[in-house]
């Protein structure tokens, strides 16, 4: 084969090489564009999801704070009611004698007589009765505190369990 016969073959080989390189470059650019578009869409999706969750988090925080405030208000009302009730009882005990009467001057009243249902508390001296009334008041206040804690816990648990649903 002569030199002039190789020229068309070389030209075809060069054209095939150049067109293959062009096709490769075009395909590579299309893939990079598709990847960039996919990354953009994925970023948009995650950013919108993040914003949505942040908004829900803020709403949940506000709801939790409101629940805690309501529970605190109810607890304070209950404690005030209990305190008034037991303060009234303690005030009513002011007329009791300081010490229990015994001896010759003491007459056994029906209040001192044991009953089948137990003691009524009428036999207690004023300091003992006041102590027990204060103890009952403190117990009732602690019960109100415990109820408030349980209500807070239940509210928070429900809100947290429903978060993101």
- Number of folded domains that form the chain: 1
Res 103 pLDDT > 80:
no
Burial zone of 161 (CB within 10 Å; 0-12 exposed, 13-18 middle, 19+ buried): exposed
Which run of H or E residues covers position 114?
none
The Cα 144–Cα 7 span in angstroms is 102
The Cα 136–Cα 130 span in angstroms is 10
The answer as to whether 41 is a domain residue is no
The answer as to whether 38 is a domain residue is no
| Domain around 141 | 57-94+120-165
The answer as to whether 32 is a domain residue is no
Averaged pLDDT for residues 119-124: 71
pLDDT tens-digit map of 59-90: 989 998 998 899 999 999 999 999 999 888 88
The answer as to whether 49 is a domain residue is no
The answer as to whether 127 is a domain residue is yes
């Amino acid at each position: 084969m002569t030199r002039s016969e190789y020229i068309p073959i070389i030209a075809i080989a060069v054209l095939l090489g150049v067109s293959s390189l062009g096709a490769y470059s075009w395909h590579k650019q299309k893939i990079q564009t598709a990847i960039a578009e996919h990354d953009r869409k994925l970023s948009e999706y995650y950013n919108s999801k993040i914003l949505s969750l942040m908004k829900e988090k803020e709403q949940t925080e506000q709801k939790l704070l409101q629940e805690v405030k309501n529970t605190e208000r109810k607890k304070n009302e209950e404690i005030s009611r209990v305190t008034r009730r037991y303060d009234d009882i303690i005030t009513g005990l002011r007329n009791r004698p300081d010490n229990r009467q015994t001896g010759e001057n003491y007459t056994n009243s029906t209040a001192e007589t044991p009953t089948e249902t137990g003691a009524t508390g009428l036999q207690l001296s004023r300091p003992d009765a006041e102590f027990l009334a204060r103890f009952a008041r403190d117990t009732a206040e602690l019960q109100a505190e415990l109820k408030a804690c349980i209500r807070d816990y239940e509210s928070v648990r429900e809100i947290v369990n429903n978060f993101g649903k």
